[in-house]
C-alpha cells in the first residue's frame, strides 16, 4: 500500500514540475515527502526531497523566508535521523540563527530548533 501511495505521489510531483503554477507548492510537497520517506526508513531519498524543498523555497520565497527555514529545519532533522550528525548540526545552527534574528528568541519555531539541536548534540 505504501509503495502504491509513493508511486502516486511521485507522479503528482512530476506534474508539479511541468506546471509553473504548481511549482510554488512543490516545497511543501517535497517537505511532506521527506517526512514520509523518513518514517518509512528511506532516509537518503528523504534527504533528497528535503534538499529539493529548500531549493524550491529559496527560489520562490528567498533564503530567509519562514518557508525556507521550515524546509531547512526538516532537512536538518532528516540528516540527523540517518546519522549525518555534523551536517544536521550545521543546518540547524543556520536555521536557529536565522529564526532568532527574524522571529525572535521566544518564538515557538526558534525554541523548537533549539530543542532539536540539543537532542542532536547529545548523540
Least confident of 10-19, 97-106, 114-123: 10-19
Backbone angles phi, psi at 65, to 5 degrees: -70, 150
Cα–Cα separations (whole angstroms), residue 39 to 11, 47, 78, 92: 20, 12, 10, 20
| Closest C-alpha to 101, from 71, 75, 74, 63 | 63
Predicted confidence (pLDDT) per residue in 9-57, tens digit: 778 878 877 776 677 788 888 999 999 899 889 999 999 999 999 999 9
Q: Please give the mean pLDDT across all residues of the chain.
A: 91
pLDDT of residue 1: 65
Q: Give the integer Cα–Cα distance in Å for 114 and 8.
A: 35
Grid cell digits, residue 32: 511532506
DSSP codes joined into one string, 29-81 = HHHHHHHHHHHTT-HHHHHHHHHHHHHHHHHHH-TTSHHHHHHHHHHHHHHHH
Grid cell digits, residue 23: 511549482
Neighbours of 61 (CB within 10 A): 17
Amino acid at each position: 500500500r505504501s509503495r502504491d501511495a509513493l508511486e502516486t505521489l511521485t507522479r503528482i510531483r512530476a506534474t508539479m514540475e511541468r506546471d509553473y503554477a504548481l511549482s510554488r507548492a512543490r516545497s511543501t510537497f517535497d517537505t511532506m515527502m521527506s517526512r514520509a520517506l523518513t518514517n518509512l526508513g528511506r532516509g537518503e531519498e528523504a534527504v533528497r526531497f528535503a534538499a529539493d524543498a529548500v531549493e524550491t523555497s529559496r527560489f520562490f520565497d528567498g533564503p530567509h523566508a519562514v518557508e525556507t527555514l521550515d524546509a531547512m529545519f526538516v532537512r536538518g532533522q532528516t540528516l540527523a535521523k540517518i546519522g549525518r550528525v555534523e551536517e544536521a548540526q550545521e543546518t540547524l545552527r543556520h536555521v536557529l540563527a536565522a529564526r532568532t534574528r527574524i522571529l525572535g528568541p521566544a518564538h515557538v519555531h526558534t525554541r523548537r530548533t533549539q530543542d532539536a539541536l540539543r537532542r542532536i548534540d547529545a548523540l
